[in-house]
Structure 1
Amino acid sequence: MRIDEVQLKGFGKWQDAVFRFAPGINVFVAPNEAGKSTLLQGIIAALYGMKRDYVKSARYLAEYEKYRPWHQGDYETIITYQLAGKTYRLHRYLSKEREQARIFLDPEWTELTDIYLEDRRKERNFIEKHLGLTRSLFTDLTWIRREPLSAAEHLMPSLDATDDANPAVNKILAELDRELAGIGKKEKAENTMLGKASALAVQKEQELAGAEAAWRVINQLTQQIAQWEEVRAEQEQMRERVRKRLERLQQQHETWQERWQKSYIVPGPKEWEWWMQSAASPKEQRNHQETMDALQGLKRKQREKGEPAQPREGGEVNRLQLQQDYEQGIQLRKRWEQCHMELASMATVAVASPRRQGRSNSGDNLKKQRRGKIILWGTAGAFLLLAILALYSEHGIMGAVSLGLAVLFSGAAYLLYRGKESGDSAATASGSASAEDWQRLSEEVSSLDDSLFQLVERWGAATWEEFLEKRGELQNSIDTREAKQMAAQMNEREEEAMLVTRWGEALRSCLEKEKATRDHEQEMLQVERAQIEDRLQELREQIAGAYGKMGAHETVSVAKAKADQEDAANGLRQLLIKRDALQIARDALQEALGEWNRDVSPAVNERASEVITQITGGKYQDVRLDPREGFAIRLLEPARQLVLEQEQCSTGTQDQLYFAQRLALLQHVSNETEPLPIFLDDHFGHYDEKRLRRTLDYVAKLGMKQQIFLFTCHDRELRLLEPYLDQSDGRHCLHQLGEMR
């Protein structure tokens, strides 16, 4: 078999990568993380896919997730290889749901996919059909690694042809003889498996007959139980109805407690609606309705008596309107008094003006002027005192007149004091301005008098003082009327309270009767429930007794007895078949053992010894592979003639033994088919310089007949193989992965 090309369209770090290989040695030198191992895994995945050969739990290899395409593309490979003189092109889509593969025959690319039938996993294993090797066996043989075989139990058995190995074979034959003796030859023998199986079959026949007899009794009891179950179901339905009625009574009791508590609370409009809706009897509903009607009648009377009073004669006095008119009159009176004071002041100025004109004509009148000022100031003070007393005694008109006269005389005295030096021009200007103000104030006083008259007239008075007297009388009348209204309201509330009290008493009387009826019904239901429970207990005892009788008869069910009888008969048949199969196997093993020892075992051991001799320079010459322990390797140490286990050797020697083991098995399989490729992935890490040189010389010789893939991150392999690469004439090739990244 020779691999010509692989295309990794999507595999790990490789995307749309194409690798073409030489027929001899293919050396891949690159640092770590350059993709060497990914390329090797890609070649094997292109040949076999990513599924396990021997499915136990996980269907896919752990490498499936490890080498998923980095670029999130399709998991896809194409490989071209030569086998038996034909060139094949195998295209795979490594989808985890279901791998798909198509195979073509070069050079015409004739599709051969349908020629290969699908196996039980719906897969077409092309390479397995070509080589007769599963994926695990192919990697065990072609991939030389520093670890034991992973599928050793599936390789052909390899036994030594020497007399020392015969005891192992004889041991297997002895086991077969022991099993045959244990099974026995006669069915009546008591101590043999065959005799025991025969006795068990007879016993199960008898148990089946007994089970069928018991079944007839059980069938009668089953019918009786079915009747009792029907009665029990009816009783349970009755019990459920009683339980629901008791729950309903409990809910009614909770509602009754709520109504009882609310019967002591005066209901509002919403509460009256709730009482009407929750009434439990027509009598209770009439009580609610009559009380509601009576309360509404009281409210109508209250509204009729509570109409607002009018501030007119013949109607009731409104306290608020009276107070508002009083406050308005006070404001009008204040403004009226201010206007009168301003008029008095203006009159004083007008009287004093002619006297200033005559003051310059005669100097003899000086004494008279002084006496006049004293008289004027004294008179002004007297009128001011009178005005204060009048206002304090609520005589507004007299107080205003007195205040005006006091201002008038004080103004006259002031003008006399100022003298004549004011001049005639000032008197003239003052006279013209005072005339206009006098007119304006006179009109305002007239308007204030009209407003004040209208205000007091509304309350049936002629003057402000009369209004004040009548206001006191009206306030007393209002107080009296409000006291009467308060008494009437108290009487109405007492009447309303009496209505509510009578309503509550009547309601509680209805509630007590309702509770008595409900308690009686609850007692009757509890008695009925107790009777139902007694009947159910009786039925349960009857059913349990019937089941007990069934249990006494039903040691084994008919179905189980029949199944046991069939199992016993089948076991007897299988034991007979096993006895015949063991006998055939024993005969076949004895026949195959001689042929295998003659052909295979010496050749494999001889090939392994040849390999170890060449790569160790003759230091070790004799190697044996033990198929009973996974083809474990044993080595004969020539100096002391000791047989060494592989683990007793140095690390470098162990690697060489793995190398010899794989090549020996590979050579045997290749002789049966054709030369298979060899994969070396950093295998020579523990080799010293001499070991490596001898091993690579041997690899170079193999490369003349087989295709070899050597992956390394060290330069020394390239340095030692460089002479062979230079003189290969295209048979060998050096691949630089670093340039392809």
Structure 2
Amino acid sequence: MKLERIYFRGFGKYVDRTFELEPGLNLFEAPNEAGKSTLIHGLTALLYGVKKEGISRRQKADHYDRYLPWESRHYGGEVDFSLQGKQYRIIRNLLWEEEREQLVDRKTGRDLTELYPLDRRKDRNLLEKLIGLNRNLFLRVAYISPYSLAGEKQLVDRIRQLVTQGEEQDLAPVLERLEQEIQRIGKSPLARSKPYGAAVNRVEVLEKNLRDLRASYEELRKDQRRLSRMQQELAEETKRWEACRQRANQLRQQVRLQDRLATLQEKQKHFSYKQQTLRELEKKRAALKEQRDHLAPPVVLSPEEMDAMNKLLNEREVPRIRLETLREERNDLAQKLASVRREQAGFLAEDVSQMERQRHLLEEVVRLQQSLITPVAQETMDEKVTAMRLEKDHQRLQELQEREEDCRRRRRELEDRHYSYKARLEGWEREHFLRQATQVTVNEPARPSRNWLWGGIGTTVLGILLLKDAPVLGLMALGVAGFAFFRYRKQRLLDQQVRQEWQERQQRLQAEWARLKEEQKNNRQNVPELDYDSLLAQTAEIKQQLHRLYDELALIIQEQEAIFERWQAGSAAELYWKVEQQRLKVKEREAAKKRDKEYRARIAELQEELEHWGERFRSRLGSFEAERWLKEISRMADEARAAREQVQKLELELSAKQEEEGRLLAALDRLQEEEAAWSERLGTDDVEEWAEWLERSGEVHRLNRQLESLEQEWEELMRVKQREGWDIQLAEVQEEMQALEKESEGFAANQEQEGENIRDLLARAEADLEEAEAVYREKEAEVLKLEERIRTRYGQLPPLGDVETRWQEAQRQVRALEKERTALETAREVLQEAVQEVQEDLAPRLAPHASRWIAGVTGGRYQDLLIDPADGLSLSVFTPETGDRQPVENLSQGTVDQMYFAMRLALIHFFSETSGLRLPVILDDSLVHFDDDRLRPALKILGEMAQDHQVILCTCQSREKRVMEEEGIPFVRQVV
């Protein structure tokens, strides 16, 4: 176990202070009262907390109040350490009302606190479960404190106890404590309420979860391998697509070049065609003039005369033929009209508008019958009841919401008051602490250096007086006086330092006291003055009110959720919407019933009127049935309407025939007059000759129009030729065609090599590009889909390492509990056997370790520690001068100190080899009674110990640093 960092948020004099520890030997050198013991007590408090051990109820440790922070409200901190390859951090708040602890894995950042369940005292015992040692055992093994060496017999008894028991306490409470710990851990995995049974159950659950999670991760790995293959295929398709795209772009460029060349060729042909057209127009104009002169008749008729003659020739025989046909058609129509009037006499006499009215009435009846509601739809009573219940629940919900708002408002007010009272209580406690602190430290610290000064003066005077009568005693008195003056000089420096620290602390306390007074004065202005007991009572009452409010608020929310669940509504707005919908449904049903009643009355009224009208057609209509009557009356109305329309149509046709006959007679008279006028105009009565002259005049006019058109076209072409510069453009086109033909020679060579048309190649290249792009898009979509699936799966699955870590932690916890239980059982058995046969068990096992360290710390003077069970476990060593065996009691005080120091180191080494756990070694002024000769081998032993253990050496002297530098012992100096 290696300590790496100690951070005090607040502990005694340390506020926001960090100590970085290194492997090996860490030296804390500082004078007395500088904070070394505070550091060690703070480390122990952060590791194990501030509760008393060995009692069933929760109680503060004796040093809790002593180390409350001087200048901070925070009490606690953090410890970083490594254990068996893992790195941990314990975070602890030591304030009694807000005490909490947290264990974090520093590598993963995972909170491991919940892995260690609470015991009956609501403690998790984090470090105890990690290393298997409670606070007392840890301090007995790892902590070496400065013992008082007032009597040799007490120190020898401690050494004997270390040899026989491995610690400095009686074994009876230890055995009882071991049995309690074994019962607390549990012996059967079926005892789920015990830590061991709960840990076994958790291992089983985590193992099943781990198997399922590993199967899921194996599927993910398969998908990842498939994704890798698909990405490679996608890269190949990307290359193929890029090659196809480049090939298609090259072919498109060739096609554009050929298209431009074709365009220029077409333009050249266009200019040639225009010039050829101009020449052909001139030839065609001359030919048309010659043809016109050849076809001209003796009398060329004008277009108006041609139209009049053509009309006369066309209409000359038509009136006579049409007049005969018209007279036959008029006679047929008169006969047909008389026949229709006889056959449809009944319908012609009937009023069609009356039939239409009856048909509209029947349509209304059918529509009303279809609008009638069914008997089931008329039932609205259940819906009314539902609407009433829904509206009642909605009103209840509104009342509950108002009560909830009122409860929340009162809760906020009570919480504000509770916070205010709590702050005032903290102020009272702080005031009480400062009052005690100022009372304790009100007197100026004593100056022990004055005792040495007066002692030195007195012994000097005594030595001077004795020099005359007893020179030896006088010299001894003067020597003592010199030593007293030397001690006075050193002690005076310490007195000055202590006085300076006392003054600074007094100043801080006075400043804190003044600030607290000012705060209390401000608080008294804002809130009424209450004493401490009243504040406690008010705070307790507010807590009870808050608990009642929490219960009332929970009932209100529970009743609201019941209403929402009853009506399947997600919110009050949704419930209000359902209330409105139910109201609307009931209103619609009532309105529908009212309309149904009105519709039935209207149907009866219409039926009576229709049956009265249909009495004349009862044989055809039959009994009343709205839809059948509607169809039959519609057919009757259509028949009557058709008869009337047929008669009207025949009458109109007969009248038209008569009018046309009169027009034809008038037309015959007009035609005879026009023929006489044309005979006089043309000089002949031959109608056929008229027709020939008419045709030839038409050809002459047609040729004249063609000539005019040709003249206009020729003139327009000449103007366009001069305006556009056909000759210049033709030369430019030919020049550009020559340049393009040279540029296309390379493309033509490539085309001949491939033996295919360039457009076929482009079509194939574009098809390949489209295919490659389709394949690429398909592959890309598959890759993206698989990547999204993998990301989704990864996001849904917890980290396998965390589950494995929890499983391994659970297994380690089971093994640790088993190991702890086995170790406890073994320790119990060993200790029980040790009580009976101590000389046959622990003493022989610990003696070799003790002998090794005793030989080292005494510089090899004493090699072995001899234990004689027959003589009351007497301890003895061989003296090197005589070779005799001497009891430890006969050795000097310094040698006994060395023996005790070596036995403690032997105990630590023995524990490390037995448990496999190398604890840090903490020494608090443990070497203060060693002289320089004994200090040097002791520090060498610590240097050797620091190779396997982390050593924290606290001292108030500078000689340890000096000796280690002289001996080349590596160490790291820390600043307190």
Name the TM-score, length of structure 1 as normaliser: 0.37
Name the structure, 1 or 2, with higher relative contact order (CA <8 Å, separation 6+). 2
Larger radius of gyration: 1
Structure number having the greater helix percentage: 2
